[in-house]
Structure formats: structure tokens, C-alpha cells
């Protein structure tokens, strides 16, 4: 059989994926670069990033400072060699984005401006108003259209990685529009599928953030690293979970409890609203428990107040926040405080990958939120992730193109057999599934509720054990799922079922990894083990999938270069 | 209010089975005042009928996926609040003027080609090296093109455009607005390269200036203005010399 065939195939069309595609095309102009995305690329969740992208661009700043802030923010779980490489590359990437047309907000002298951000000791967050992700995504997507060697497969869903003799040789994908299942072969594959926020009920993440790349790699035998490290952003709108950017606090907004008090003085006296996300989210929940939150129809909340900034600053720096308040909450943030509460936002954990995005499988790379290259450790600093998508998207694109240039061609024979098996699986379990008595919606909602309850901001042994039990039960129910939709054309119920399968997979990895980490570090806060334990846990968790059982966990040392772990106080 | 209901009439169409689209009626609980049309569709899909097909993702008005006709008007369903329609039934249909793939899902390949045809990227006679740093640009220079850069490609403007409804060769509002976004960028020198597509008989001159595109835009873009300004560009190039901005 003849398959679509590429030198470099990227799965995912967000910022990391498109940046990887362009880097591969530029590294080797003769390389054929493919990009498979389950949505049109400009729909990718990068579009919702708001606050900015961190990079050292000002004379008063230094690589060392950005590195230290990131490492301290990570609660010393970041790999320091990776952080040091990242901070050097980030400014180059920000300038590259500028050359491609990103409308960065400017200083009066016409240079790229910066704003303060949580956990950063100086102004280094470059921004395009408060729609930075939107502008960056559309900029790279539109720029990618000028590269004839990049071919897109929009609205195709990858169901399996093709691995032959420990080498990745492509993917099997379902064309959502036609229901056709086919192989796309490639000498190298880059996973850039983003996060998994939809495993939680209350999340800033869009419907498409279902951990696809993590589940694909995990099932192919690659370890998932530090999956217990899940970020909860302090400021989401109640009910919808819509993100209110940290830039609101960067620009001077206050977080107030129901006594009108800037309560962070008890938790982060020196940083106040500009502390890291993990500590602020915990502080908010602690205040709620002490009865100092507001009560609303959608639970407890705090006030985020920008009224003192004035209309002019708000309209120049935070226009999207004003729009979101007006459109979705019926408030004007110039006159009203914004109700907010902690919300799942980002996944530090992900596909174990090195500084070039290489994974344990030859020819398989990962970048962006779906990867864990060791940059974010236990807690990512706000505005490091857009820069991460650029730096590691580009690095993996170059590495994959370089590898593909000397890799052996992919032979059709074993691919034929693998495709046949996979097509049969997807047909019998999904597209042509018979019987079943469970619905996708209720299983998904129960998983989300259980994840919120058991693997939220605070965790306990009992809560995690119960969560693992519940997830096991949900997996059994999923096996009996009934699919109403029998159409081959744009069958979104089949896509939802495939996504739920992935989400149950990565949820279990989160819960089991969290249960085993008997300490509190970064975003992983155990009520039963409230202290950080460097003796036992200054280590990365790596979860390997085991069929029908809990994953096997291994631990790997954290790379320390110049910054010895010490108490993390702000 | 515990038993409040809302009636949704949604287009159903499966090309494998149906000759033409029909409306299916769903009565679902209106359980929270904050519910939007998209929440209603999600309720139907999760609890009533898993086969209803539509696109959505961010549910915060920025990804551009969930545009549909709501009671005859193109809307992002993630911020069309049920309370603004209730107690009347709400008719949800696929965006006008596009081929329908399935139910509420339109085929927007045509726009993807048109977007590429206007070369929506920075064009320069000579690139400056990365090592030279950023181009200097003031916030005021960004203001020149800012509104045209806000386009989320949601297709509401094409659904509202009577000209596009009659002639799908028409370049249309969003693609022209994005061409304008680059033409007005102080870093760009690509106007001359973009003009042939814009000045084509199916380019900006096809617009009859109804202006509905600007009315329905959920992001405050004014494509009608982009089109009128571009008309000027297509005439001016024959009479005026250009300076450093070609």
C-alpha cells in the first residue's frame, strides 16, 4: 500500500507544533514536513494564553536571574541544564516572532515591552496586550503558510503511534471528516498535542485538551514524567473556568478576601500578588476554609480588583479582560471587582523528553505542554510556557529534521500489518461498535469530579487511593460504552470516546504518581506529608504503563548545576 | 425555577443518510442563568443524543470554532446566552453560505485557501538578521492595524455577507481584513505582492458595501472598512509613487 509519507511528522498544530514544523522546514528545505491536527491549527488552545512570554531582553536582567527564578519556582524539580539552555534561547525566539509579525506591545522607544509576572524577580514577560497566545498562534500559523514543504492534515485524530523495532515510523490517524483510517508514515514524529486539562471538571482548558500525545507515547512504552505536578491557576471565573490572566496582578491588581483584605500578606509577604501560582492557589483555599471567601452560586471565590488602575491602563494593557468580564460575567472590570477562584490550568508533567525533545523511542520527539523536558519541575512560572513552546518546538523540529536526514526509509510491509490491526481495533471498539449500555458524557463527568476531588490542589493518601479505585471502575464502565453515532462523516462522538480513553489513561498516571510522592513540592501538596523531602524525593517520577494494572514507577535524579536546593520562601 | 426548560431546534444532516437537512427539537433543562447555547448543545450531546455534531473548544470567544446561526443570526454559541432568548425556542443552524459537512459543521476549506492567497505573513525585500534585534515599532503604529489583527477566523462575517452567498469566488471580509492587517504593518513591504488578489474581479471590488460583516464580527473587526480602504489601494497604485513601503 501507498501511504502519505514525510520526513518529519508533527502531531498537533498549536504553538509548539507549528514552531517545530517551521524549524524542520528551515533546517532542511528539502524535508517533507507533515502536520496532523484534530482541529484547524488556529483553534489550538495556545489561542487562549493571555499574559505573555518570558525572555531576558533588558539590560538590567540576566540569564542567571531568569534561570534562578524558574528553578526556585519549580521547587528545585527542574533540570537545571535544561533551564539554562532555555533562558538563553528564549530571547532569540521572541525576536524571531517579532520578525514574523507578532504585534508585541512596545515601550516608548519602539522596543518590545515587558511586564512583571508571578515568581519573576524583574519585568521580563513580553506581551501582546492580554491576548499574547492568540497573537502568537495566528502569527506562526499564518507564517507557516508560506512554506510549501509543510503539508497539513487538518481535523485528523491520531489513534496510535507506529513503532517498529523500537523506532517510530509514523502514526495511524482517523480522518474526522470521512471516517477513513489510514497510516501516515514518517522518519520522525514530534508530539505537540498540548495539555490534558479536560480530565478535571473545573479547568481553563478548552474541549480539545485531552492528553492525546501523552497517552499515545505512554501506550507506545515511553515514560510519563512528573505527572503528579498539575498547575492550578489562582484566577479563573467561577462556573466557566475562563482564565483571568496573571497579568491582571502583574499590572497591579489586588486579590481580596471577603474582609476586603489583601490576604496574601500572610502567605507571601514580600511578593504579595506576584507570588507563584501554586502558593497563591493554596493560600486562597486556606482562606476559603477559614471562612474568608465570598459565597456565590458557583461556590466560593475571591475578588480580583483592578479598579484603582483606571480605565486607560485597563484598556491599553488588559482589554480582553474587560471584554471577557462584560461578555461572560456582565461586569465592567473598570467599576467592578472580578470574582475568581483556583482552576486547573497547566500540566507540568508529560512525555519524558530531553533537551532536544528526544524520547526513549528512536525518531519520537515531544515538545510543548505535552512534553516534560525538565523545564518546569513542580511548578511552572507564568509566561514560561509560551516561550517553552517556541524554544523546544524549534529544538525538536531541528533535531527531528537532522535525524530524518540520515534515517533509513520506512518500509511499507510492517506498516501495512500494523495499520490493519489498528483499523480493526478502531472500527470494532468505536466506529462500528455494537451494544453497550454506558454513555460517554456521564463517565467523563464522573472522572472530572473525581479528579477535582482526589487530585486537586491538596491531596491525601486516602483521597488518591479512592481516586485510583474510582478510575478503575470508570475504565470498566468505559469498556461498556455505547456509541449513538454510526455515521462515518464528522463523527464527534467517536472522537469524544477516543479522547475519554486517553483521559482515563493519563488520569491514572496522575493519581498513581501523586500517591507515591510522599512529600509536598511545588504544585503537589500532600496534607499528610506537608514538607518537602529532598532526601527521598529530589527526583523525577517516571510512570510506565502496565496493561490492566497500575503503572510501574521509576525515579530519576534531578540535574543540579549551579543552584543548590534550599528552602523556597518568597 | 428548578424545572425551567429551554427548547432547542438544531439542524440535523448526515450526508450518508439524509437528502436534506432537517430540524430536530430538544427540550432540555435550563439549570443555570449563565448557560449559553453551546452549553445547551453540550447537554444534548452528553445526555440526550450523542450523535449531534458541532465544533467547539475554548468556550471563551477566542478559538473561533463554535460559530453557528442562532435564530437566524451568525453567533459564537459560547457567548450567546440562553437567557437572552428564553422562553422562545432557539433555532441553531450551521453558518449560512457554506457547504454543510454534517449537522452544524460547515466546510471552511474555501476560506483556508483564500487566507493563504492573500499571503498573510510579513513580506520584506530584505530580512534583517535575528542578531540585529527587533524592528522598532510604536504602539501607535500597532494601533494602525490592531483591529484587523483581532480576526479569529470564526466565519461569522462570511455567513452574513450577501455577496459571498451569491458568489463564493469573492475573497470576502476576513481574508481582506487580514491582508489589510499586513499591508498596514510598518514592518511589512508586501502590498504590491498582495494587490493582484485584492484587485482581482473577485477581490474587493465585488463588495457592494452592505456592511453586515462588521455588524456581526464578535471581535470588533471592521472588515467593511478594510475592503473600502483596500479599494483605494488598488486605484492609488496606478497614480502615486510609493516610498519605502511598497
- Residue B246 within any structural domain of the chain: no
Check: CB of residue A15 under 8 Å from CB of residue A141: no
CATH of the domain at B141: 1.10.1060.10
Neighbouring residues of B116: CB distance < 8 A, sequence distance ≥ 6: A145
Residue ranges, CATH 3.90.700.10, chain A: 234-342
CA A296 → CA A238, A321, B111, distances in Å? 9, 21, 43
Per-residue model confidence (pLDDT) at position A413: 85
* Pairwise CB contact (< 8 Å): B57 & A43: yes
* Same domain, residue pair B187 and B211: yes
Test B50 with A439 for CB contact under 8 angstroms.
Answer: yes
In the structure grid, which three cell numbers stand for residue A183, read together? 497510516
CA distances from A427 to A59, A119, A420, A488, B116 (A): 59, 49, 11, 11, 35
Residues 169-208 in B contacting A (C-alpha not used; CB under 8 Å): 178, 182, 185, 187-188
Contacts of B185 in chain A (CB under 8 A): 101, 103
> Which ipTM value was assigned to this complex?
0.96
- Phi then psi for residue A554, to 5 deg, are -125, 165
User: Per-residue pLDDT tens for B30-82?
Assistant: 999 999 999 999 999 999 999 999 999 999 999 999 999 999 999 999 999 99
Residue A212: its chain B contacts at CB < 8 A? none
Contact A92 B153 (CB under 8 A): no
* Annotation marks residue A233 as catalytic: yes
- Give the integer Cα–Cα distance in Å for A282 and A255: 13
The answer to whether B60 contacts A441, with C-beta atoms less than 8 Å apart, is no
The residue assigned the cell 507563584 is A276
Low-confidence ranges of chain A (pLDDT < 50): none
Rg of chain B over all Cα atoms, to the nearest angstrom: 21
Among candidates B50, B178, B188 on the partner chain, residue whose Cβ is nearest the Cβ of A440: B50
Residues B208 and B194 reside in one and the same domain: yes
Residues B62 and B151 in one domain: no
CB contact under 8 A, A101 and B112: no
Residue B227 counted as domain residue: yes
Residue B58 has its nearest CB partner, among A48, A143, A177, at A48
Tell me the C-alpha to C-alpha distance, in Å, between residue B241 and each of A229, B187, B200, B245: 60, 19, 21, 10
Q: Give yes or no for residue B246 having a pLDDT over 50.
A: no
Distance CA A389, CA A192 (A): 9
Average pLDDT estimate for B194-201: 94
For the question of residue A219 being annotated catalytic, the response is: no
A403's enclosing H/E stretch is helix A384-406
Spacing of C-alpha B18 from chain mean position: 28
pLDDT value of residue A74: 98
Distance to chain B for A73, nearest Cα, Å: 28
Q: Omega before B87 cis (within 30°)?
A: yes
Question: If you ran DSSP here, which 8-state letter would residue A243 be given?
Answer: B
Query: Which residues in chain A touch residue B58, judged by CB atoms under 8 angstroms apart?
Result: 43, 45, 47-48, 206-207
Q: Count residue pairs from A and B with Cβ separation < 8 A.
A: 170
B23 and B95: one domain?
yes
**Residue contact B46–A243, C-beta within 8 A:** no
Domain count, chain B: 2
Nearest to A355 by CA among A376, A375, A380: A375
Q: Which fold has domain A414-533?
A: Methane Monooxygenase Hydroxylase; Chain G, domain 1 (1.20.58)
Last residue in a domain, options B56, B89, B106? B106
CA distances A556 to A61, A241, A543, Å, are 32, 35, 11
Q: How is residue A112 written as a grid cell?
A: 518590545
Residues 206-235 of B with CB under 8 A from A: none
Chain centre to alpha carbon of residue A101: 25
- Reading phi first (left if > 0) and then psi (alpha if -120 to 50, else beta), residue B213 is in alpha
Q: For residues B186 and B134, state if they share a domain.
A: yes
Query: What is the value of pTM for the model shown?
Result: 0.97
Band (B243; pLDDT cuts 50, 70, 90): very low
**SS3 sequence of A49-94:** CCCCEECCCCCCCCHHHHHHHHHHHCCCCCCHHHHHHHHHHHHHHH
Annotated catalytic residue, options A32, A115, A233, A303: A233
Of A40, A56, A144, A330, which to mutate for an interface test with B (greatest number of B Cβ within 10 Å)?
A: A40
With respect to residue B241, please indicate whether it lies within any of the assigned structural domains.
no
Answer whether residue B245 is part of any domain. Answer: no
CB contact under 8 A, B135 and A324: no
Task: Determine the structural domain holding residue B53 and report its residue range.
Answer: 5-106
Residues B50, A243: C-beta atoms closer than 8 Å: no
Least Cα separation, residue B206 to chain A (angstroms): 25
Minimum-distance CB partner of B16 among A105, A487, A493: A487
pLDDT confidence of residue B3: 85
Q: How many whole angstroms from its chain centre is CA A245?
A: 16
pLDDT(B238) > 90:
no
What's CA B173's distance to the chain center, in Å? 8
Task: Pick the last residue of a domain from B77, B106, B135.
Answer: B106
* A-interface mutation test, from B53, B180, B220, most A Cβ less than 10 A away: B53
CATH of region A234-342: 3.90.700.10
Residues B134 and B191 in one domain: yes
State whether residue B67 sits within 8 Å of chain A by CB: no
**Are B147 and B179 within one domain?**
yes
Of A103, A240, A483, the CB nearest to B142: A103
Whether chain A has a CB inside 8 Å of the CB on B152: the answer is yes
Q: Are B54 and B8 in contact (CB under 8 A)?
A: no
The CATH number for B56's domain is 3.10.20.30
- Which chain A residue shows the shortest CA-CA distance from B107? A177
Strands A181-191 and A4-11: parallel
B90 and B174, same domain (yes or no): no
Query: For residue A24, which of A39, A38, A37, A35 has the smallest C-alpha distance?
Result: A35
Higher-confidence position of B238 and A454? A454
Residue B244 lies in a domain: no
Give the confidence band of B235 by pLDDT, cuts at 50, 70, 90.
confident
- Does residue B118 belong to any structural domain of this protein? yes
Q: Do B45 and A208 touch (CB under 8 A)?
A: no
Residue B84 sits in the same domain as residue B153? no
Compute the C-alpha angle B130/B133/B135, nearest 5°. Answer: 105
Final residue of a domain: which of B81, B106, B131? B106
Minimal C-alpha gap between B237 and chain A (Å): 24
Average pLDDT of chain B to the nearest whole number? 94
By CB atoms closer than 10 A (0-12, 13-18, 19+), residue B153 is buried
pLDDT grade, residue B2 (50/70/90)?
low
Question: Taking CA atoms, what residue in B is nearest to A441?
Answer: B46
Neighbours of A559 (CB within 10 A): 15
Distance from CA of B167 to the nearest CA of A (A): 24
Amino acid at each position: 500500500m501507498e501511504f502519505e509519507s514525510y520526513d518529519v511528522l508533527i502531531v498537533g498544530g498549536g504553538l509548539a507544533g507549528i514552531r517545530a514544523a517551521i524549524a524542520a522546514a528551515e533546517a532542511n528545505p528539502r524535508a517533507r514536513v507533515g502536520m496532523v491536527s484534530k482541529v484547524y491549527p488556529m483553534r489550538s488552545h495556545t489561542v487562549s494564553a493571555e499574559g505573555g512570554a518570558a525572555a531576558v531582553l533588558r539590560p538590567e536582567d540576566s540569564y542567571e536571574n531568569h534561570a534562578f527564578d524558574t528553578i526556585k519556582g519549580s521547587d528545585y524539580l527542574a533540570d537545571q541544564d535544561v533551564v539554562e539552555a532555555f533562558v538563553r534561547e528564549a530571547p532569540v525566539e521572541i525576536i524571531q516572532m517579532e520578525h514574523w509579525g507578532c504585534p508585541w506591545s512596545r515601550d516608548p522607544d519602539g522596543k518590545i515591552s515587558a511586564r512583571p509576572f508571578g515568581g519573576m524577580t524583574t519585568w521580563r514577560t513580553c506581551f501582546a496586550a492580554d491576548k499574547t497566545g492568540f497573537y502568537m498562534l495566528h502569527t506562526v500559523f499564518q507564517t507557516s503558510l508560506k512554506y510549501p514543504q509543510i503539508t497539513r492534515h487538518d481535523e485528523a485524530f491520531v489513534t496510535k503511534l507506529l513503532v517498529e523495532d523500537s523506532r517510530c515510523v509514523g502514526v495511524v490517524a482517523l480522518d474526522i471528516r470521512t471516517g477513513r483510517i489510514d497510516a501516515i508514515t514518517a522518519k520522525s514524529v514530534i508530539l505537540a498535542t498540548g495539555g490534558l486539562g479536560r480530565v478535571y471538571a473545573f479547568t481553563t482548558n478548552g474541549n480539545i485538551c485531552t492528553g492525546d500525545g501523552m497517552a499515545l507515547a505512554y501506550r507506545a512504552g515511553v515514560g510519563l514524567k512528573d505527572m503528579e505536578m498539575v498547575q492550578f491557576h489562582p484566577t479563573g471565573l467561577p462556573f466557566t473556568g475562563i482564565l483571568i490572566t496573571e497579568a491582571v496582578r502583574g499590572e497591579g491588581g489586588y486579590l481580596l478576601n471577603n474582609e476586603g483584605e489583601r490576604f496574601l500578606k500572610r502567605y507571601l509577604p514580600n511578593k504579595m500578588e506576584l507570588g507563584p501560582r501554586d502558593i497563591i492557589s493554596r493560600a486562597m483555599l486556606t482562606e476559603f476554609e477559614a471562612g474568608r471567601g465570598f459565597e456565590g452560586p458557583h461556590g466560593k471565590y475571591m475578588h480580583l480588583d483592578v479598579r484603582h488602575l483606571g480605565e486607560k491602563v485597563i484598556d491599553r494593557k488588559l482589554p480582553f479582560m474587560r471584554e471577557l468580564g462584560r461578555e461572560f460575567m456582565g461586569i465592567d472590570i473598570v467599576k467592578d471587582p472580578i470574582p475568581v477562584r483556583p482552576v486547573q490550568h497547566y500540566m507540568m508533567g508529560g512525555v519524558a523528553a530531553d533537551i532536544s525533545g528526544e524520547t526513549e523511542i528512536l525518531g519520537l520527539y515531544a515538545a510543548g505542554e505535552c512534553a516534560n523536558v525538565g523545564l518546569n519541575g513542580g511548578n511552572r512560572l507564568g509566561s514560561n510556557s509560551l516561550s517553552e513552546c517556541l524554544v523546544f518546538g524549534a529544538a525538536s523540529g531541528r533535531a527531528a529534521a537532522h535525524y530524518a536526514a540520515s534515517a533509513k526509509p520506512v518500509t511499507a510491509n510492517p506498516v501495512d500489518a500494523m495499520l490493519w490491526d489498528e483499523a480493526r481495533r478502531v472500527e470494532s471498539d468505536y466506529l462500528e461498535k455494537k451494544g453497550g449500555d454506558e454513555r460517554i458524557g456521564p463517565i467523563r463527568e464522573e472522572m472530572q469530579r473525581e479528579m477535582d476531588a482526589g487530585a486537586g490542589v491538596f491531596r491525601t493518601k486516602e483521597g488518591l487511593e479512592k481516586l485510583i479505585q474510582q478510575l478503575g471502575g470508570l475504565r470498566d464502565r468505559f469498556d461498556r460504552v455505547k456509541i449513538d453515532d454510526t455515521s462515518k462523516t464528522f463523527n464527534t462522538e467517536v472522537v469524544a470516546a477516543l479522547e475519554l480513553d486517553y483521559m482515563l489513561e493519563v488520569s491514572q498516571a496522575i493519581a498513581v504518581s501523586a500517591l507515591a510522592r510522599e512529600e509536598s513540592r511545588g504544585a503537589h501538596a500532600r496534607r499528610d506529608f506537608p514538607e518537602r523531602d529532598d532526601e527521598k524525593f529530589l527526583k523525577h517520577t517516571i510512570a510506565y504503563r502496565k496493561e490492566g494494572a497500575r503503572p510501574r514507577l521509576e525515579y530519576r535524579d534531578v540535574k543540579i548545576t549551579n543552584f543548590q536546593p534550599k528552602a523556597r520562601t518568597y | 425555577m428548578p424545572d425551567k426548560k429551554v427548547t432547542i431546534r438544531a439542524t440535523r444532516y448526515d450526508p450518508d443518510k439524509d437528502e436534506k437537512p432537517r430540524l430536530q427539537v430538544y427540550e432540555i433543562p435550563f439549570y443555570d442563568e449563565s448557560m449559553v447555547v453551546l452549553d445547551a448543545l453540550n447537554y444534548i450531546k452528553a445526555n440526550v443524543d450523542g450523535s449531534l455534531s458541532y465544533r467547539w473548544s475554548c468556550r471563551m470567544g477566542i478559538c473561533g470554532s463554535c460559530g453557528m446561526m442562532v435564530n437566524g443570526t451568525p453567533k459564537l454559541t459560547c457567548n450567546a446566552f440562553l437567557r437572552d432568548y428564553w422562553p422562545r425556542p432557539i433555532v441553531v443552524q450551521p453558518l449560512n453560505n457554506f457547504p454543510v459537512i454534517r449537522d452544524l459543521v460547515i466546510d471552511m476549506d474555501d476560506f483556508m485557501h483564500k487566507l493563504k492567497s492573500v499571503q498573510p505573513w510579513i513580506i520584506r525585500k530584505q530580512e534583517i538578521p535575528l542578531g540585529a534585534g527587533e524592528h522598532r515599532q510604536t504602539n501607535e503604529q500597532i494601533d494602525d492595524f490592531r483591529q484587523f489583527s483581532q480576526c479569529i477566523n470564526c466565519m461569522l462575517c462570511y455567513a452574513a455577507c450577501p455577496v459571498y452567498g451569491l458568489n463564493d469566488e469573492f475573497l470576502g471580509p476576513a481574508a481582506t481584513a487580514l491582508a489589510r492587517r499586513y499591508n498596514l504593518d510598518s514592518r511589512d513591504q508586501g502590498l504590491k505582492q498582495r494587490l493582484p488578489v485584492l484587485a482581482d474581479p473577485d477581490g474587493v471590488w465585488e463588495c457592494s458595501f452592505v456592511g453586515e460583516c462588521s455588524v456581526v464580527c464578535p471581535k470588533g473587526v471592521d472588515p467593511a472598512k478594510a475592503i473600502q480602504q483596500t479599494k483605494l489601494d488598488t486605484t492609488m497604485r496606478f497614480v502615486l509613487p510609493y516610498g519605502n513601503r511598497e
